[in-house]
């Protein structure tokens, strides 16, 4: 069991790591907790999370939704701009005091093995069983790390970015029609399981 101080320390450490800027990579990761005016929240929340904590009048959903949209655009330097129609899908129960946790992330990096635009072609992307869509697929050639954990219905592919300090991890069903098995497995998957696989 972790103490509140350890959890806070880890969060602040990760928040600092989220502010990645160099000549090849850019990462913006933002968080905010919107709290209904008048909701009884401990005072320590405002002092420990001054950047994240924000009170609002949630009875006016359109205004709240638009404020969130503008905040995301401003904090990500207009890299993430939600369509105004998003406000129509934004709803919650105004009969109870509420909180809304918002996270938005923008990342732009340079692949270690480049994907040439000329090699992009239409391929089948299976969404469920035999259902598929024709989508643009990027293609490249190189050596990549592929894990096939024992007793796990999945394969894990690592595609590194330039410098090898950052990678994208893609989890795929081990075989076709294993989607439901994979979902059930990932539901029980923990960070310790993830670290164990990568150590092996």
What CATH number does residue 158 fall under? 2.30.39.10
What is the total count of domains within the chain?
2
Residue-number span of the structural domain to which 53 is assigned:
8-109
Last residue of one domain, picked from the residues 53, 77, 109:
109
Confidence category of residue 200, pLDDT binned at 50, 70, 90 = low
As a whole number, mean pLDDT of residues 164-187 equals 79
Distances (CA, A) of 167 to 96, 164, 190: 42, 7, 19
Between CA 114 and CA 124, with CA 120 as vertex, the angle to 5 degrees is 125
Question: Are 95 and 183 in the same domain?
Answer: no
Give the pLDDT confidence of 60-69 residue by residue, as tens digits.
888 888 889 9
Taking the model in full, what pTM does it have?
Answer: 0.67
Q: Is the pLDDT of residue 194 over 80?
A: no
Between CA 30 and CA 2, with CA 188 as vertex, the angle to 5 degrees is 60
Instruction: Please give the pLDDT value at position 100.
Output: 87
Last residue of one domain, picked from the residues 64, 80, 109:
109
Cα gap 77→137, rounded to integer Å: 29
> For residues 182 and 173, is the Cβ–Cβ distance under 8 A?
yes
Question: Are 81 and 145 in the same domain?
Answer: no
Q: For residue 196, how far is the Cα from the chain centroid?
A: 22
Confidence category of residue 134, pLDDT binned at 50, 70, 90 = very high
Give the pLDDT confidence of 96-105 residue by residue, as tens digits.
667 888 999 9
The rounded percent of the chain whose pLDDT value lies above 90 is 16
Instruction: Please give the pLDDT value at position 136.
Output: 95
Would residue 2 count as lying in a domain? no
Instruction: Please give the pLDDT value at position 20.
Output: 59
């Amino acid at each position: 069991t972790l103490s509140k101080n350890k959890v806070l320390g880890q969060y602040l450490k990760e928040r600092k790591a989220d502010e990645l800027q160099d000549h090849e990579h850019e990462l913006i990761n933002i968080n905010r907790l919107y709290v209904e005016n008048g909701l009884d929240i401990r005072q320590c929340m405002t002092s420990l999370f001054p950047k994240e904590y924000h009170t609002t009048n949630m009875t006016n959903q359109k205004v709240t939704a638009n404020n969130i949209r503008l905040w995301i655009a401003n904090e990500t330097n207009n890299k993430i701009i939600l369509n105004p129609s998003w406000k129509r899908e934004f709803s919650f129960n105004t009969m109870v005091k509420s909180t809304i946790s918002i996270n938005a992330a923008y990342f732009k990096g340079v692949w270690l093995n480049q994907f040439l635009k000329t090699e992009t072609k239409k391929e089948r992307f299976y969404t469920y069983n035999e259902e598929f869509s024709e989508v643009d697929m990027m293609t490249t050639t190189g050596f990549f790390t592929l894990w096939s954990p024992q007793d796990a219905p999945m394969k894990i592919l690592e595609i590194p970015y330039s410098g090898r300090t950052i990678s994208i991890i893609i989890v795929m069903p081990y075989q076709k029609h294993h989607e439901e098995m994979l979902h059930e497995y990932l539901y029980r998957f923990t960070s310790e399981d993830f670290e164990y696989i990568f150590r092996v």
